[in-house]
Amino acid sequence: MTEEPHMLVEVVEENILVATFNRPDKLNAMSFDLMKILDEAVERYRDTPELRVMLIKSKGRYFSAGADLKQSGDAGQREYPTKGSQVRDQHRRGANRMRRVWDEMEHIEKPFVVAHHARCVGGSLEMSLSCDFRLAAASASYAFPEAKFGVLPATNGVSRLVRLVGPHWARLMIMANMPIDAQEARIAGLVHKVYPDESFESDVMGFCRHLAQQNAELVGTAKVAIELAADLGAHQAAAVERLANSSLMLSPDYKELMVSHVANIGKGKGY
């Protein structure tokens, strides 16, 4: 009997690429096969101009339980690093090619959306931190179980989490090893929206449709400018704004959109 693909990838509505974790019986643990398919999907999204949004979702009682630890061998037989340099090299390269894929998702000038319908932990949460938009169902929750093994989540788990939610919430999730629910995640700034469980799928697709309608050049430029501004002082960040707009405002799209907007205002239409 042929095993089903660990991830399903399809294009919906012509410009939205949907990648779905497909191991519900394994709590959608992130296997080598799943990571390979995700890597290929990210490259396909990057290299296909017609695709405007990539949505990552799953099905089952977990969004994902994180990395598939069983693929690293039996815990009693596993080879553990003996030097700190080996550990650092593993983290830099990323188990299951994770860090490279997460970095590529952050750098591609297109939006990534992740939709959490249920519990999201470990490596899958680290992946989600590299997405531009995180959407949660009311019953979703978040945790880093790495503390149970006496280690840190080190494939974006500390660096990106602190960048997004600050040290206050990072201490709760990492030092205290406590999960947070969807509403706490929204308050912390970890997720952008929390939708009712009953309408979650349709609400997520509505969000993706809206995002796909935005000007692609603006979205890509904004992604770069926002990341730069987060690392700069006020004056340098303002310079990034001017630099970015000096490109956008020379585009034919700008004049066309401005003329159309002014015409709509003249017809009594608002924002």
E runs forming strands in the chain: 7-12, 16-21, 53-58, 62-64, 112-116, 119-121, 133-137, 141-143, 180-181, 193-195
Q: Is 126 a catalytic residue?
A: yes
Among the options 10, 104, 126, 227, which is catalytic?
126
Query: Span 244-256, mean pLDDT?
Result: 83
- pLDDT number for residue 109: 97
CA 116 to chain centre: 11
127 has a pLDDT exceeding 90: yes
pLDDT at 74: 47
pLDDT at 78: 58
User: Measured in whole angstroms, how far is the alpha carbon of residue 250 from the centre of its chain?
Assistant: 31
Percentage of the chain beyond pLDDT 90 is 66
- Quick check: 130 and 102 in contact, CB under 8 A? yes
pLDDT at 49 over 90: yes
What would the pLDDT profile of 173-213 be if each residue is shown by its tens digit? Answer: 999 999 999 999 999 999 999 999 999 999 999 999 999 99
Q: From the candidates 104, 146, 241, 256, give the one annotated as an active-site residue.
A: 146
The yes-or-no answer on residue 201 being catalytic is: no
Whole-angstrom distance, CA of residue 194 vs CA of residue 207: 12
Q: Is 216 exposed, middle or buried (0-12, 13-18, 19+ CB in 10 A)?
A: middle
* Residue where the block lists tokens 């796909």: 212
At residue 30, what are phi and psi to the nearest 5 degrees? -85, 95
Taking only the tens place, the pLDDT of each residue in 90-110 is 666 655 578 899 999 999 999
Q: Kindly report the pTM of this predicted structure.
A: 0.89
